[in-house]
Structures are given as structure tokens and as C-alpha cells.
A and B are shown apart, each in its own frame.
Chain A
């Protein structure tokens, strides 16, 4: 079947979609957006979290056919989404475009090739990051990074809803996102840091 929907502000069309495919598979394997991660395929880890019409969901549990005509934001579009929100633009992400680069497929080995150009990410080089993305880097909340995209989408949505969350609020909001590397302490730090930076910006 064919599915038409919007991803990160850009209309997308996926063809020859098998009816049992998930939104996650379509994003990763058909649209060249592998940022959303496949770690459990049963809604237990949150690594595939995306915004569906603004609502955080596990994209592994959304049937591809269900997103017809709907609006999806993935980690690849998060920076642009946050930017537009800050500018008071279209909060749903349905308007505007995202980074060209993020729309391309990832050829093998390319990631390290690209990384090799940089040294430290301290400078935040390689395009603008959202507050929560930068905070994850700065706080040391990224180790293997596999849970990171889902956590970023969930954290960003938390701070959109609740700009000044208590620790218990953060834990509740992120309780659907498993991380195996960090023990979550640096993730807590990152969300606190992002909240503090956001409140300074306002």
C-alpha cells in the first residue's frame, strides 16, 4: 500500500508498504530516517519515540497505514521543531523544512567518517541543536546513545508541557524510556540543565 504523511515538516510518500509494517520501519528503512531506534518493538523501551500529531508515541506500535495524512516529528527534526516553537511558529512542525542532511540515507561507515571531521562536540558544530540536545551532550547523558533519540523527544515534550519539572515529574515523564548505560543520573542532569537554560532564554 501507499502511505502519505508529513515528517519533520516535509511531505513524504512511501510506496509498496507491507500492511504489517510499523511507522518505525517506514521511517528507518523507506525514508532514510534511522534516528528513531528499534530496540524492542514492543513499546517497552521508548527508543523509537516520535511525536505523532504532537503526541509522543512509540513508532514501533503505530501501523504504517495509520499515519496516512498525519504529522510526524522525529529526532532528526527535533532541532527545527524546537526552533519554530521558540519563534512562536508552527508548533506541530507541519510547516517549515528540516535539515537536508537528515533526510539522506546513511551509507555504511559514514558516521565515523563524518565524525572524523570534528574533534569535540563542545563547540556544537554541525548545525544548531535544540536546548535539550545540547544539554544531553553537556551533561554526559549520552553513552552508547541508542536510547538518546527517544529520550530527547520525550524530554523535549516534557519541557514543552512543564517548563519547570520536579525530579519526580522528570522520572515519571521518562519512565517509558529505558537506558542501559548511564544509570539515568546524567539524563536527570541533562533535563534539569535544559529546563534551566530554557528559563534563562525566556
Chain B
């Protein structure tokens, strides 16, 4: 129950079993544990071919020639396609800026860029044929960092830009720039008793979803194509795919195949257009499945960043000002970079009250791998920096780091640096209090009567310490993430809900295009339908493009926005059902006309609980169906010079306390516990909420101590595209994650809920870093922190 603030209001149908607030189980759970759930890579079709993509072996080069003749002559090969085979004038795609070539044209801009496609009867045939394609490259100098990108004579990654950002950026190798200016920093700086500066580096993280990019394109008789694919947003894919194929959107049918995780990595297209092109060319179904190596090239990563921060504070611990500059490396193509810049800048101050700010965030075009959406989206990098700053300030002031944060914590009513007031609960200080109040794990848990249990020590099974050099550290962090698409984006969702009697029972069918990527949206949709419509049986229709857009499964938005759309459609269905009831039975009981009526437990009841009739009798053989779009409150763009504007819909807050044990001699880290307290507004499904928080926490742990795509600064080539060298946490790296869930309703959101998926990924990383600093006394201005950083051997 909420500790303070308004309790969540649930007005309807709470009597129906399996409704919101219960930990109902996943509807796809049985299929997933029996191996029957069909992921995109499991798709199969008679006569299907296998698609293979030939990718560039260099990062930046002119393509002098491509010779496909030998590949085409290979037995079992059905098609080989290059840029010249693209069917229309539309040859690029992109989420916001259409700068990404479907196949390289004259030039490649990053390592692993698609150059040619092969379709063959066996994956090995396709691989061998792709290897026979001769591409001659003339290498160009590479742009790999801010210095090389912004030099006066810098090589331009994209010549002749004409996108809507190119007018306001100071250099053509900057995708987008967002300053935020508020108050008077110079004046505020004079009030500061202490000033703390820091330069921070955030490494390139990969989503590393376990199900690599894959799908099946089936040509249709009408000349169109049906694509079964794992994605985060069917309609966004469709909007980008259809023009390249030269088909109207109706002729490109899309069905969501099972998605093996996403975390932002499926927001951009990967194999979609390629599979469709090959299917349309060969007239046969074409399946493409990336292997892990290709997956590292097949999707965008989290932007690596350099962050320059200066904070001031008075001696009694109040923040005076923030000056910061955030440089995000967007890589070769824009992807979601502009929106990431908007987030990084507008959330760069963190969940703190600072009136005077001078902030700038930019994203660069470089020849590094393209970067875009990943869980936390710009807010992650900023949180790493401002939380390090908070610890430095507290230390300099001789204050407790948690108390220092609480003293400066924002609350409801605080005005963001964008000028936007926070108009729902912002329990930052309370979350810090809660996470600090959780009991600490016992010391030296690895000691046993039989000696040290290495599994519980840094190094684990590798037997590097039996306790020698091991020092414990504790660290705290808190973060703020926006929920939903911001900056004036029309962020709507559509839901189609049908109600009818099947087999003598009222049944609701919920049809949306929402991408279920594992988050549990399908579970929640059924709960909402039960709550609103008083039914037990809910069928979740497969997600496809036969219904309107549900927006993206990202930005912590799906339960809020598509959940909101389902709720809204259910309410409209309910009204229609009640109309039918009034028409049929209104004359039998006055309450039909006078009382507020609900649907509960398969019946129509008054708000006083009196049963007016069975839904089965009301509906008989009538089918009620509603398809309707639903929108959250509109937002505004940020002013391009001052960053002012009501850009965000809702904020989400999480705090972490990390307890680590560091082998200070070998620089190995074991995270012992990562406690989290988070405000979720209203937990529609508590089991799923905790699962999201623990999963997000672990991804934050990963980028704290191990995860990084390493790009050679001389060649811009990726050096570790495999699960052997890009390490993600195993179960032995992951600690217990106790979670304290706070539920303070946001009155603007459906059921008072708050988007939850991303916030835990923000604060987990800086909490782990703070704990390692606490254990080692080192400054540690980069993440991930590797053993060489802890041992002075970098």
C-alpha cells in the first residue's frame, strides 16, 4: 500500500477474478515452456529459401565495384541482389531521418553495413554464394570521435544533408543538438561554496536480446508480401518497408512472430526489407535468421557518450547550478539519435532541483556502429554522470550521500530545467529512504565450515581468491526517466475489443498491434479486459497490421498507452453492451436507467452491487466490437535554442543500493546485492512489475562491470562481436535483487500507473559504480569498469 500520497483509485470491476492488480500468469507461458511458442526464427514454410546478407568488411569506403556473377552461378542460388536491383526510387529508410541505405550505394559508412543479398536453398549454400561476391572497396579515412568528426576539414559522414535537423546543427557531422538554458548559471555559480567537475565516459552497450533478428517473408498472390517478424513496432516497420518495395501499405501484411527480447534493439529495421525483396524477386518464401555475430552488426546499440559535468553547491548542501555537455556517438546513421539527444539533455539534471542550468547535448555522425534505442534511452548515460557528481559533492561537503540527494530531491511541483512542472508524485526522497532502510546482506557470506565457497566470491568458479584482497563497498543512486514518446510526438495506440457469447460464456477478444517482446503486455491486456468487462475468458488476438498502430514497445509506454487504449475500447464496448441491456431489459428494472452500471463476474451490476442480469442474456448472439485510438496528454517540442517546453508526459523514478565485494588486487567484482525501490503508480501485475525491475537492474549491472562493444579507434571496426567477448551477466554474476514497490497514483494515467521498464536500468549502473568506488577509493569515471581500471593496469 502507498505510504503517502493518494491511493490508487480503481472504480470498476475489481470483483472479477484475474483483473488488474493480480499477479495473473502469462497467457503464452505454457507454449513457452513446452517449446511450442513460435519465435520469428522458428518460422518455416514449404519451399522456403534462406536469405543471407553480405556485409562490409571495412568501416568507411567507396565501393568501386561489385561482381555477383560467380555467386549467381552457384547451384541452389535463386537470387543475388545489390543496390541496382532496388525496385523504386525510395532506397533509404530510417526511424526519423531516412538516411540508411537498404543496400549500400557507392559507399559504406560503418563496419558490417549490408551490401548484397543472396537467397538459396540452404543456409550454407547462401553463405558460400555470399562469399563469392567480389566487392572492391577504396578505403576512406574514418571519423570515430568528436575531435575527428568536428575538425574543420573533417570527412563528412553524410554529404548533402537535407533532413530537418541540418539547419540548426553547428556541423554536418552533428545529427542533432539540444541546448537547455534556464536561470543564470554565472550568477548561481558565484553562490556556490563548492564546485565539482567531472568528465565521464559511457561505453557502447548492446541490447543482447537472446533471439537474434529473424523472420519469414511470404509472397502473396496479389503481388504483395506477408512478413512474419520479431519487431517492437509493426506499423513503424510497415511505414518504412512499403515505399522501398514499391507496394501500397495494404499489400504488405505484417504479423508479429514470437519476439526473443528487444530492449530497443528492434526499434529499427534489420532483415525486414531484405527478406521481402528476396521473396518478391524469387516468388518464394524467404527466411532470414542472423547468427550472433551478425546480430551485433544487425541492430543499433546504446550510444556511447562523453559527459562533461560541473555542479556547484552551497556549504549547507543545496545545489546551485549545473553546466554540462553530453556528446553521444550516434555512429553512421541517425536511427533514434535526435530523440536520444532530447532525453539526455532534458533529463541531464537528474531527479534534483536545480534552477540554473546550462546544458548541451549533441549526437555525432561517425563511422562507428550506428547507435539508437536501448532501454533507458539517453537518460542512462546522464544518470551515470550526475550520480557520480552527487557522490563527489557529498564527499566534498562531508555529507552523507543519501542525505545530500534527499536534500536536493525533486518533488511534485518541481519545475524541470525545460520549464515543465512535475505534476504527479515524484517520491525521490522517499524512495531513497526506503532503499536505505532495507536490511544489508550479511558480511562474508562466502565463509563456510569447509573453507571459502568461491562461487560467492569475486572470480567465482575461477578460484581467484579465498577472501584475500576482498573489500566490501556500498553505493546508492537514483534516476529519472520519461515515459512515452516526448517532444510533441503523436504517441497514440489503437485497440480493438470485441465481446460476444461463446459456448455459453461471455468472451472478450482484444486485438492490438502491440509487440509482445516478453514484457507481459498480453497478460495485462487480458487483466484490463476482465476488470472493465467483467468476463473471465479473454482471447488475445495475434498482433498484426489488420488493426491500427499500437506504437512502439519502448519508452516504458505500452502498459500506459496501449493499456490505456484497451481500457478505453473496453469502456466503449461496455457502454454498447449496457445500451443493449437497456434496450432489452430497461423496462424491467429502474436501475437500468438511473444507476451507474458495471460489468462484474459475467453480470451487469449496479454500483451498489445489485445484479441486473447476465451478460449472456444481454448479448445473446449479438457481437459488440469497437476499434479506437487513444492518446495520452499531448507534449510539446523543446525550443531549439533554450530547450524550454512541456516535452514529457510522465516520469518514472527508481533508486538502487548496491553492495559489492571487490577483489582489490585483481580488480574483480562480485555484486552481492542490488536492492531497488521504485514508484510504479499502480502495479497492474505485481509479478510482472518485479520481473521488469529485476531484469532492468541486471542490464544496468552488466554495463557497470562487463558489457562493452569495443570499436577499434583506428579502423572503426568492431572487435568483439560474439558472446565469447561481449559478456553479459550470468546467474553467478547476478545478485539477489530485493524490490520495494511504491504505488503513488498518477492521476493523469490509466489506473494511476507509471511506466516502469526503464527506470531500474538507469540507477543500477551508478549504484554499482558508487559501491566499487566505496570499496576501492578510486575515482572511476568510466563504465564499464574493467579489472585493469581497478588495478592501475589500463
Chain A interface (Cβ < 8 Å from any Cβ of B): 18, 20-21, 28-29, 32-42, 44-45, 47, 74-76, 78-79, 101-102, 105-122, 124-127, 129, 133-134, 136-138, 140, 142-149, 152, 168, 170-172, 174-188
Proximity string of chain B (440-462) to chain A, C-beta cutoff 8 Å, 1 when within and 0 when not: 00000000000001011000110
A177, B25: Cα distance in complex, Å: 23
Given contacts A115-B540, A133-B34, A178-B723, contact A47 B210 (CB under 8 A): yes
> What residues of A have a CB within 8 angstroms of the CB of B542 in the complex?
109, 112-113, 116
B455 interface neighbour in A28, A106, A171, Cβ under 8 Å: A171
Residue on A with the closest CB to B544? A109
A107, B258: Cα distance in complex, Å: 12
Given contacts A120-B18, A120-B24, A120-B25, contact A144 B211 (CB under 8 A): yes
A2, B688: Cα distance in complex, Å: 46
Q: Let me know if A36 and B35 touch, CB within 8 A.
A: yes
> What residues of A have a CB within 8 angstroms of the CB of B464 in the complex?
none
Q: Does B112 contact A (CB under 8 A)?
A: no
Q: Let me know if A106 and B691 touch, CB within 8 A.
A: no
Q: Does B32 contact A (CB under 8 A)?
A: yes
Q: Let me know if A121 and B260 touch, CB within 8 A.
A: no
Q: Let me know if B30 and A129 touch, CB within 8 A.
A: yes
> What residues of B have a CB within 8 angstroms of the CB of A36 in the complex?
35
In the assembled complex, the CB of A27 is this many whole angstroms from the nearest CB of chain B, namely 10
> What residues of A have a CB within 8 angstroms of the CB of B728 in the complex?
178, 180
Q: How many A-B residue pairs have CB under 8 A?
A: 262
> What residues of B have a CB within 8 angstroms of the CB of A109 in the complex?
38, 228, 255, 257, 542
> What residues of B have a CB within 8 angstroms of the CB of A172 in the complex?
455, 461, 732
Q: Does B429 contact A (CB under 8 A)?
A: no
B35 interface neighbour in A34, A107, A176, Cβ under 8 Å: A34
In the assembled complex, the CB of A37 is this many whole angstroms from the nearest CB of chain B, namely 7
Q: Does B291 contact A (CB under 8 A)?
A: yes
23 examples of A-B residue contacts, CB within 8 angstroms: A18-B122, A28-B42, A33-B35, A38-B41, A38-B212, A38-B289, A38-B291, A45-B723, A102-B36, A106-B38, A108-B43, A109-B257, A109-B542, A112-B542, A116-B539, A119-B526, A126-B31, A129-B34, A133-B33, A140-B25, A143-B691, A146-B211, A170-B731
Given contacts A40-B723, A116-B540, A147-B210, contact A175 B31 (CB under 8 A): no
Q: Let me know if A121 and B292 touch, CB within 8 A.
A: no
A184, B24: Cα distance in complex, Å: 20
Given contacts A102-B36, A180-B728, A182-B691, contact A111 B723 (CB under 8 A): no
A44, B736: Cα distance in complex, Å: 23
In the assembled complex, the CB of A113 is this many whole angstroms from the nearest CB of chain B, namely 6
Given contacts A18-B122, A182-B695, contact A142 B26 (CB under 8 A): yes
Q: Does B536 contact A (CB under 8 A)?
A: yes
A145 interface neighbour in B32, B690, B695, B731, Cβ under 8 Å: B32
Q: Let me know if B698 and A148 touch, CB within 8 A.
A: no
Report B456-490 residues with CB < 8 Å from chain A CB: 456, 460-461
> What residues of B have a CB within 8 angstroms of the CB of A20 in the complex?
124
Residue on A with the closest CB to B760? A183
Q: Let me know if B25 and A137 touch, CB within 8 A.
A: yes
> What residues of A have a CB within 8 angstroms of the CB of B256 in the complex?
112
Q: Let me know if A127 and B34 touch, CB within 8 A.
A: yes
Q: Let me know if B260 and A35 touch, CB within 8 A.
A: no
A175, B260: Cα distance in complex, Å: 20
Q: Let me know if B28 and A121 touch, CB within 8 A.
A: yes
A70, B538: Cα distance in complex, Å: 44
Proximity string of chain B (676-711) to chain A, C-beta cutoff 8 Å, 1 when within and 0 when not: 000000000001101100111111000000000000
> What residues of B have a CB within 8 angstroms of the CB of A37 in the complex?
39, 41, 210-211, 260
Q: Let me know if A121 and B41 touch, CB within 8 A.
A: no
Q: Let me know if B538 and A144 touch, CB within 8 A.
A: no
B32 interface neighbour in A41, A118, A148, A182, Cβ under 8 Å: A148
| Among B177-185, B242-250, B340-348, B517-525, the stretch in contact with A | B517-525
Q: Let me know if A121 and B34 touch, CB within 8 A.
A: no
Q: Let me know if A41 and B688 touch, CB within 8 A.
A: no
In the assembled complex, the CB of B764 is this many whole angstroms from the nearest CB of chain A, namely 10
> What residues of B have a CB within 8 angstroms of the CB of A102 in the complex?
34-36
Q: Let me know if A140 and B518 touch, CB within 8 A.
A: no
Residue on B with the closest CB to A18? B124
In the assembled complex, the CB of A117 is this many whole angstroms from the nearest CB of chain B, namely 7
Given contacts A107-B44, A172-B732, contact A137 B260 (CB under 8 A): no
A148, B455: Cα distance in complex, Å: 23
Q: Does B543 contact A (CB under 8 A)?
A: yes
> What residues of B have a CB within 8 angstroms of the CB of A78 in the complex?
34
Q: Let me know if B734 and A184 touch, CB within 8 A.
A: yes
A63, B560: Cα distance in complex, Å: 47
> What residues of A have a CB within 8 angstroms of the CB of B42 in the complex?
28, 34, 106, 111
Q: Let me know if A168 and B211 touch, CB within 8 A.
A: no
> What residues of A have a CB within 8 angstroms of the CB of B520 in the complex?
143
In the assembled complex, the CB of A21 is this many whole angstroms from the nearest CB of chain B, namely 8
Q: Does B606 contact A (CB under 8 A)?
A: no
Given contacts A44-B724, A121-B29, A178-B728, contact A184 B37 (CB under 8 A): no
> What residues of A have a CB within 8 angstroms of the CB of B519 in the complex?
143
Proximity string of chain B (400-437) to chain A, C-beta cutoff 8 Å, 1 when within and 0 when not: 00000000000000000000000000000000000000
A134, B526: Cα distance in complex, Å: 20
Q: Let me know if B722 and A124 touch, CB within 8 A.
A: no
Q: Let me know if B29 and A142 touch, CB within 8 A.
A: yes
Given contacts A119-B526, A143-B520, A175-B731, contact A35 B261 (CB under 8 A): no
> What residues of B have a CB within 8 angstroms of the CB of A33 in the complex?
35
Residue on A with the closest CB to B24? A120
Given contacts A32-B44, A183-B734, contact A39 B697 (CB under 8 A): no
> What residues of A have a CB within 8 angstroms of the CB of B292 in the complex?
39-42
Q: Does B634 contact A (CB under 8 A)?
A: no
> What residues of A have a CB within 8 angstroms of the CB of B261 in the complex?
143-144, 146, 180-181
> What residues of B have a CB within 8 angstroms of the CB of A187 in the complex?
731
> What residues of A have a CB within 8 angstroms of the CB of B723 in the complex?
40, 42, 44-45, 178
In the assembled complex, the CB of B142 is this many whole angstroms from the nearest CB of chain A, namely 28
Residue on A with the closest CB to B730? A175
> What residues of B have a CB within 8 angstroms of the CB of A147 in the complex?
210
Residue on B with the closest CB to A113? B542
Q: Let me know if A181 and B691 touch, CB within 8 A.
A: yes
In the assembled complex, the CB of A61 is this many whole angstroms from the nearest CB of chain B, namely 13
Residue on A with the closest CB to B702? A180
Residue on A with the closest CB to B507? A119
Q: Does B23 contact A (CB under 8 A)?
A: yes
Report B247-301 residues with CB < 8 Å from chain A CB: 255-263, 289, 291-292
Q: Let me know if B518 and A181 touch, CB within 8 A.
A: yes
> What residues of B have a CB within 8 angstroms of the CB of A125 in the complex?
30
Given contacts A143-B261, A152-B33, A170-B731, 8 further A-B contacts (CB under 8 A): A45-B210, A102-B36, A106-B44, A114-B36, A120-B27, A137-B26, A172-B732, A186-B694
In the assembled complex, the CB of B279 is this many whole angstroms from the nearest CB of chain A, namely 12
Q: Does B103 contact A (CB under 8 A)?
A: no
Q: Let me know if A180 and B44 touch, CB within 8 A.
A: no
In the assembled complex, the CB of A185 is this many whole angstroms from the nearest CB of chain B, namely 5
> What residues of A have a CB within 8 angstroms of the CB of B209 in the complex?
144, 146, 180
In the assembled complex, the CB of A179 is this many whole angstroms from the nearest CB of chain B, namely 7
Q: Does B578 contact A (CB under 8 A)?
A: no
